Each structure stands twice: as structure tokens, then as C-alpha cells.
Amino acid sequence: MAVLHNKVSNKELKEKMMTETEPRKTFSFYRYFPIEEPLIFRDELYSYLFQLNVFGRIYIATEGINAQVSVPENRVAHFRDYLNNLPGMNNLRLNPAILDNGKSFWVLKIKVRSKIVADGITDSAFNMQQKGRYVDAKGMNEMLNDPDTIIVDMRNHYEYEVGHFIKARELPSDTFRDQLPMAVDMLKGNEDKNIVMYCTGGIRCEKASAWLLHKGFRHVFHLDGGIIQYARQVEENNMENKFIGKNFVFDNRLGERVSNEIIAHCHQCGKPCDDHVNCANDGCHLLFIQCSECAEKMNHCCSEECKEMLSMPEERRKQLRSGIDKGQHIFNKSKMRLRPRLNILNEKKG
């Protein structure tokens, strides 16, 4: 019988991955195309990728596929051939990671969702096939040099904080679904201007470009392959790099350096730093920026409360975090959302 779900603990799998000696490659890919039976598609995909020892996070929906994966180096060709032979996925481009230590994922998770990117769109007239025009690295640089072109970053605020294109406009939000109406409001009055949208690998800005066209904007572009493909093209063609800082990624690495500039700051002491970490207290697990000095001083925690909690016996910590929804927990300066669950933890301590 085919294996369709992981049955080993995350802790064991991560420890096993960290001791692996076989080299791996990290890729991201997506495609918008109709999938009539997402559950069947998901199970068949899981069964094959499990045999290849592929790790990663993949989302399937009726609108397509979105994936970030870690593939054993000696099985990349098999992996690529398999994907390209699936209906609707021929000539699929795999975006290799910019910086890759082979330790990006340690388990395979494939989930069926209503959308591959949660967008909040309920308008039945919206057509994903009517999207903006692609622009490559050369075209992106040319448009960045044009003072009349508007560049829009379609990533979350914490991604923008550590790295972005010169003159890019930020949409300060935690979610893509909030950014779509924000983008329309921000760009009102610029319906006839060139607008270029970008994101990490292309999936969010492609949908955003279609949404802007749907809302009456006429000259909409999106960066082909996102920041990942841009960085590769710039390096391969010895072009000027107009992306400053680090590219945030949603895996164990939490970032890839694209340029040497450090444009963010430690959320605890304020010194230049762009290293995202998760609070070591499992009852918190806040995503925030922390320098090495603060990490040592705070025992890799976001606060004195979490540092104190981390020093408690494990059984006591389990009691305190029992029933707490960790959900999306990200430090956001604009909303001052630092440690929203600590009040609950402190109540339990009392």
C-alpha cells in the first residue's frame, strides 16, 4: 500500500536530515492550471515524491500547485522528468535556491487547499488567465531606472524589512489577502502608468498582476520567477543588482543573501542585523530579528518572560503552553504585535 502521510515525528526527521551526507538541492516552483481532482492529484504526487526521498511543502488546489522542495542531488533529473510529464505541468521551471546548504526541509507535506495563495477574492468574474506581462532581470532594471514606473513589493512586511528593490513600495501587511485591496487603493490615479509587481518566486505577483488588470489598471507587469530568478540572471549575466539586502524564504534557512547591504535592525537592541529567528520558547515561537549578542544574552528568546519560561522543567512548560494557538506569530513594528500570547502564558503561570 502506498505511503500517503508522514508517520515519524518532526524531531526525529529533523535530526536525521541534519546528519545526512547525501547532497540536496532546494527548488521552488508553481503553476496556475486547472486541477479537477486535487485530492487524487495530491495522493499520487505524495506517493511518488516519498519514494524519491523529497522533502518540502506543497499546496494543491483547483487553481494549481505551489511548492518549495528539497531533492537529493542524484534524483533531480527523475524529479524534473516526473513533474514535466504530469498533465498541465510540461516545461515547468524549477527555481533553484540562491544560497543552499541542503538543509531547507526535513519532511514532505502536501496539502489540499481552496487556493494555492490565499487571496480573499470572491469576485466570480476574476480570471487568473488574464494576467500582467512578464519582465525579466534586464527589463526589471530598465523599469527601475524609469522614474515614472511604479514598483510594488507583494510580499509581507517582514520580508520587505530585510530586503527589497530600490524604490519599491511596501504594502505593510502580514497577509496577501490584505495586500490586494491595499494595492488597488494605493495605486488609484495611476491606471495608465507602468506598474511592476514582484515577490519571492513569482506566484503572488502573478496573481496580483491579474487582480490589478481586473480592477482597471492597463500596463501591469510582474517579475518572471521573482527575486530568486532575478538574482540568478543578474549573477549569470554580470548585471547591476538593484535588490538590496536579503531575500526571506519560508524554510529552515529563513533567508538568502542577495546583496551585502544589511538594511534591517535587531528588534531587541537596534543594531544592524537581518537574521530572522524563532523564539526558543515553544509556547511563543515568535518570528523576529535577533543579533548574535542578543541571542546569547536572551538565550535565543524574544523576551525576559520567554527566557524565564525556557528555564522551567519541560513538563511545566508543556502545561503552560497547552491549548495555546501559536498560529501566525510575527513581530510587526507597525502594529507593535510583540508577544501577543504572553498574556495568556502569564495568566496560566498565575
pLDDT in tens, 110-158: 999 999 988 999 998 998 889 999 999 999 999 999 999 999 999 999 9
Written as one letter, the residue type at 4 is: L
Residue 334 has pLDDT above 90, yes or no: no
Residue 197 has pLDDT above 50, yes or no: yes
pLDDT at 333: 47
* DSSP classification of residue 218: -
pLDDT at 330: 57
Cell reading at 28: 521552488
Judged by average pLDDT, the poorest of 20-29, 68-77, 330-339 is 330-339
> How do strand 276-278 and strand 287-289 relate by DSSP bridges?
antiparallel
Instruction: Name, in order, each residue with C-beta under 8 angstroms of 28's C-beta and a sequence gap of 6 or more.
Output: 67, 68, 69, 94, 95, 97, 200, 201, 228
pLDDT at 276: 95
pLDDT at 16: 65
Cα 295 to Cα 69: distance, rounded to the nearest angstrom: 29
Residues annotated as catalytic (active site), given as ranges:
199
Judged by average pLDDT, the poorest of 9-18, 235-244, 266-275, 295-304 is 9-18
Mean pLDDT (whole number) for 245-249: 92
pLDDT at 98: 77
Kindly tell me the burial class for residue 105, based on how many C-beta atoms sit within 10 Å of its own C-beta (0-12, 13-18, 19 or more): buried
Residue 35 has pLDDT above 80, yes or no: yes
Residue with cell 537596534: 270
Q: How confident is the model at residue 324 (pLDDT cuts 50, 70, 90)?
A: low
Give pTM, 2 decimals.
Answer: 0.78
Four-CA torsion 231, 237, 239, 241, nearest 10 degrees: 10
Residue 164 has pLDDT above 70, yes or no: yes
Cell reading at 201: 518566486
Instruction: Name, in order, each residue with C-beta under 8 angstroms of 77's C-beta and a sequence gap of 6 or more.
Output: none
Cα 317 to Cα 336: distance, rounded to the nearest angstrom: 26
Q: Which helix (H) or strand (E) holds 47?
A: helix 38-51
Cβ atoms of 273 and 291 closer than 8 Å: yes
Short-list 26, 29, 159, CA closest to 100: 26
Cβ atoms of 241 and 259 closer than 8 Å: yes
pLDDT at 37: 95
Mean pLDDT (whole number) for 256-267: 94
- What is the number of other CB atoms lying within 10 angstroms of the CB of residue 335? 13
Mean pLDDT (whole number) for 222-242: 94
More confident residue, 103 or 263: 263
> How do strand 243-247 and strand 163-165 relate by DSSP bridges?
antiparallel
- The CA radius of gyration of the chain, in Å to the nearest whole number, is 21
Cell reading at 348: 496560566
Residue 340 has pLDDT above 50, yes or no: no
309 alpha carbon, distance to own chain's centre: 29
Q: What domains lie within the chain, and their CATH numbers?
A: 10-112 (3.30.70.100), 133-236 (3.40.250.10), 276-349 (no CATH)
pLDDT at 332: 56
Cα 246 to Cα 160: distance, rounded to the nearest angstrom: 9
Q: Which helix (H) or strand (E) holds 265?
A: none
pLDDT at 341: 40
- What is the number of other CB atoms lying within 10 angstroms of the CB of residue 237? 10
Mean pLDDT (whole number) for 319-330: 55
Residue with cell 533531480: 76
Share of the chain above pLDDT 90, in %: 65
Cα 33 to Cα 94: distance, rounded to the nearest angstrom: 16
pLDDT at 15: 65
